[in-house]
């Protein structure tokens, strides 16, 4: 038994090192790699990924895990948690034969290139056969994993362990009708008619200084992190003490780098707060789900950084940095500006209120594609109808519509819902935080964000994967996924803002 424990300890540590190595290969590719390095980088990433898969699925590990599983009651509590999680990962990975991994990887590699071109040329039909192939593979994957209930459950499980289609359907249909209703009321308001536009050029070096200052206030030290530039902002963990974030600077939109830095910093704080002392170098020292991860980024980006308290401290920082560009603005207008609701065709440009509608639209379509009620070739029509139903606007072409996201071309079915789950969890955590620390608004106004970080560390980060995301939310907030808390939050904020 000791030798089994020693074996799983060693192999988890190796897999951890390989994961960090892939993370670095990927980070470098998106930040500093000379362009011509791309081809060999693809080889490197695919080789290390294969080694990770081989190590996870190898017979020897399986046997040791099964042995420990059979004598679970002899293990201490910590070891039991590790063995349970590891067993789940190993058994799941072993359901997928390596020839399937290869077929999927080849298909999406081609599909991604075709999608890029299809989007550029605004030509959905070019993408259809590839999308159809991916959908077939996703169905096959679902059959291999074979979770109970809707076939989509098996896809969802990759990103949101323990969540089910049944639960999401209920939460999302409620969310959909409530947000559509709030949106209708806002649209008819006087405030909605006024549009705020930020003019001027905002020096990139100064933007960077504000972002670095923000990270400092959030308690992210340069000893364990970096801020770099990439096309699309992201966060990656190269080690427990090496969690890097990226942003992008747009000289006409200083809030893009600011909000994206804060979003990514939310992810980074979660990674940095994982239970490395107790569970370091095991599968338990990881995020519980993508939804919970996204709740952390959205908590900071939307709830904190689009809240009124926050700007009492940070608007003066902006004003001092860009006095000339902001001379016609005041705190209240700025607050309205950063929370402006404007239905948009593009998901990643959506405001806090309408964002979940973009997700629900995709969720409904993914369900239909997987259970066969929707055909890939009909997507543009269905997409545009749903856009009209939910957001009251229609994309002027497929590039701005059904082709806008890369997720389907990379085979990431089941991923989209986690964004909206993140919104809901974030609002639940905030609701609970306010109960426990009713004066948190004052702290934020002082620029003191450390109390919030501490609270999140104790109530979210430190659990790692000891339980599922929903179990963590239940333990912290007293109940599982509850979209009503999010709807109440949205109503409180946006009906007041738009005076309806």
Does 323 participate in binding a copy of itself (rule CB under 8 A)?
Answer: no
Least separation in angstroms between CB 240 and a copy of itself: 7
DSSP assignments along 148-193, one per residue: SSSTHHHHHTTTSTT--HHHHHHHHHHHHHHHHHHHHHHHTSHHHH
Structure letter (DSSP) for residue 301: I
Phi then psi dihedrals of residue 392, to 5 deg: 75, 15
- In the list 6, 37, 71, 375, the residue contacting a copy of itself (rule: CB under 8 A) is 37
- In the list 62, 240, 256, 335, the residue contacting a copy of itself (rule: CB under 8 A) is 240
Does 47 participate in binding a copy of itself (rule CB under 8 A)?
Answer: yes
Least separation in angstroms between CB 229 and a copy of itself: 12
349 is catalytic: no
Length of the chain: 500
Does 242 participate in binding a copy of itself (rule CB under 8 A)?
Answer: yes
| CB closer to a copy of itself, 33 vs 198 | 33
Does 25 participate in binding a copy of itself (rule CB under 8 A)?
Answer: yes
Contacting residues for 484 by C-beta, under 8 A, at least 6 apart: 174
Sheet holding 242-247, edge to edge: 227-229, 242-247, 235-239
Least separation in angstroms between CB 235 and a copy of itself: 14
In three-state secondary structure terms, 420 is helix
**CA-based R_g, the chain, Å:** 23
Angle at 448 between CA 446 and CA 451, to 5 degrees: 135
Burial class (CB in 10 A: 0-12, 13-18, 19+), 80: middle
- Orientation angle between helical segments 38-57 and 77-94, nearest 10 degrees: 120
CA 440 to chain centre: 25
Looking at residues 244 to 263 of the shown chain, list those that interact with a copy of itself (rule: CB under 8 A): 244
Which residue pairs, CB below 8 angstroms and at least 24 apart, start in 136-143? 137/100, 137/103, 137/104, 137/107, 137/411, 138/370, 138/411, 138/413, 139/370, 140/100, 141/96, 141/100, 141/104, 142/370
| CB closer to a copy of itself, 40 vs 378 | 40
Residue with tokens 């007041």, as numbered in its chain: 496
Does 72 participate in binding a copy of itself (rule CB under 8 A)?
Answer: no
> What is the rounded CA–CA span in Å between residue 370 and residue 135?
7
- In the list 145, 204, 224, 317, the residue contacting a copy of itself (rule: CB under 8 A) is 224
- In the list 5, 7, 9, 21, the residue contacting a copy of itself (rule: CB under 8 A) is 21
- In the list 5, 7, 9, 20, the residue contacting a copy of itself (rule: CB under 8 A) is 20
- In the list 33, 101, 204, 500, the residue contacting a copy of itself (rule: CB under 8 A) is 33
Least separation in angstroms between CB 185 and a copy of itself: 47
- In the list 32, 102, 170, 392, the residue contacting a copy of itself (rule: CB under 8 A) is 32
- In the list 7, 9, 28, 313, the residue contacting a copy of itself (rule: CB under 8 A) is 28
Structure letter (DSSP) for residue 6: H
- In the list 1, 6, 13, 342, the residue contacting a copy of itself (rule: CB under 8 A) is 13
- In the list 7, 49, 51, 393, the residue contacting a copy of itself (rule: CB under 8 A) is 51
**Options 18-26, 260-268, 345-353, 482-490: segment touching a copy of itself (CB under 8 A):** 18-26
| CB closer to a copy of itself, 29 vs 397 | 29
| CB closer to a copy of itself, 153 vs 282 | 282
| CB closer to a copy of itself, 26 vs 400 | 26
| CB closer to a copy of itself, 52 vs 134 | 52
| CB closer to a copy of itself, 9 vs 226 | 226
- In the list 5, 9, 30, 41, the residue contacting a copy of itself (rule: CB under 8 A) is 41
Neighbouring-strand partners of residue 242? 239
Does 241 participate in binding a copy of itself (rule CB under 8 A)?
Answer: yes
> What is the rounded CA–CA span in Å between residue 440 and residue 237?
29
> What is the rounded CA–CA span in Å between residue 23 and residue 21?
5
Does 147 participate in binding a copy of itself (rule CB under 8 A)?
Answer: no
Least separation in angstroms between CB 121 and a copy of itself: 26
**One character per residue 275-314, x = contact with a copy of itself (rule: CB under 8 A):** ----------------------------------------
**One character per residue 373-412, x = contact with a copy of itself (rule: CB under 8 A):** ----------------------------------------
> What is the rounded CA–CA span in Å between residue 186 and residue 170?
25
- In the list 2, 3, 36, 328, the residue contacting a copy of itself (rule: CB under 8 A) is 36
Q: Which of 160, 264, 364, 366 is catalytic?
A: 264
Q: How far apart are the first and last CA of the chain?
A: 66
Does 223 participate in binding a copy of itself (rule CB under 8 A)?
Answer: yes
What are the CA-CA distances from residue 159 to residues 268, 438, 447, 486 (Å)? 18, 33, 34, 21
> What is the rounded CA–CA span in Å between residue 268 and residue 255?
19
- Active-site positions? 264
Positions that interact with a copy of itself (CB under 8 A): 13-14, 17-18, 20-21, 24-25, 28, 32-37, 39-41, 43-44, 47-48, 51, 222-226, 228, 238-242, 244
């Amino acid at each position: 038994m000791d030798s089994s424990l020693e074996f799983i300890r060693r192999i988890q540590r190796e897999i951890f090192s390989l994961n960090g190595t892939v993370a670095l290969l990927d980070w470098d590719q998106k930040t500093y790699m000379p362009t011509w390095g791309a081809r060999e980088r693809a080889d490197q990433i695919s080789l290390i990924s294969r080694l990770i898969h081989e190590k996870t699925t190898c017979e020897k590990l399986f046997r040791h895990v099964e042995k420990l599983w059979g004598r679970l009651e002899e293990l201490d509590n910590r070891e039991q948690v590790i063995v349970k999680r590891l067993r789940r990962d190993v058994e799941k990975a072993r359901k997928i034969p390596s020839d399937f991994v290869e077929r999927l990887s080849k298909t999406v590699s081609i599909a991604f290139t075709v999608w890029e071109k299809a989007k550029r040329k605004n030509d959905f039909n070019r993408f259809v056969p590839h999308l159809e192939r991916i959908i077939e593979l996703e169905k096959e994957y679902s059959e291999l994993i074979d979770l109970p209930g809707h076939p989509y459950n098996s896809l969802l499980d990759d990103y949101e362990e323990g969540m089910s289609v049944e639960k999401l359907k209920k939460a999302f249909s409620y969310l959909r009708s409530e947000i559509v209703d709030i949106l209708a009321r806002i649209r008819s308001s006087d405030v909605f008619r006024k549009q705020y536009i930020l003019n001027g050029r905002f020096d990139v070096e100064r933007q960077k200084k504000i972002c670095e200052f923000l990270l400092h206030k959030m308690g992210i030290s340069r000893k364990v992190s970096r801020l770099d530039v990439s096309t699309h902002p992201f966060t990656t963990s190269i080690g427990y003490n090496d969690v890097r974030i990226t942003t992008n600077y747009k000289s006409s939109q200083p809030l893009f780098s600011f909000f994206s830095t804060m979003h990514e910093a939310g992810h980074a704080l979660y990674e940095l707060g994982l239970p490395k002392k107790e569970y370091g170098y095991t599968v338990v020292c990881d995020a519980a789900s993508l939804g919970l991860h996204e709740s952390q980024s959205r908590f900071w980006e939307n709830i904190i950084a689009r809240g009124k308290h926050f700007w009492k401290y940070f608007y003066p920082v902006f004003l001092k940095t860009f006095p000339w560009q902001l001379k016609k603005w005041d705190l209240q207008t700025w607050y309205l500006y950063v929370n402006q609701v404007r239905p948009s065709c593009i998901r990643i440009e959506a405001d806090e209120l309408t964002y979940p509608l973009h997700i629900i639209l995709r969720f409904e379509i993914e369900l239909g594609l997987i259970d066969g009620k929707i055909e890939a070739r009909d997507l543009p029509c269905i997409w545009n109808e749903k856009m009209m139903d939910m957001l009251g606007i229609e994309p002027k072409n497929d590039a701005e519509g059904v082709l806008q996201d890369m997720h389907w071309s990379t085979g990431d079915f089941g991923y989209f819902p986690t964004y909206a789950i993140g919104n809901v969890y974030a609002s639940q955590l905030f609701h609970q935080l306010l109960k426990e620390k009713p004066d948190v608004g004052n702290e934020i106004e002082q620029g003191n964000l450390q109390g919030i970080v501490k609270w999140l560390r104790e109530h979210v980060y430190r659990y790692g994967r000891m339980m599922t995301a929903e179990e963590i939310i239940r333990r912290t907030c007293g109940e599982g996924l509850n979209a009503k808390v999010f709807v109440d939050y949205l109503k409180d904020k946006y009906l007041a803002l738009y005076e309806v």
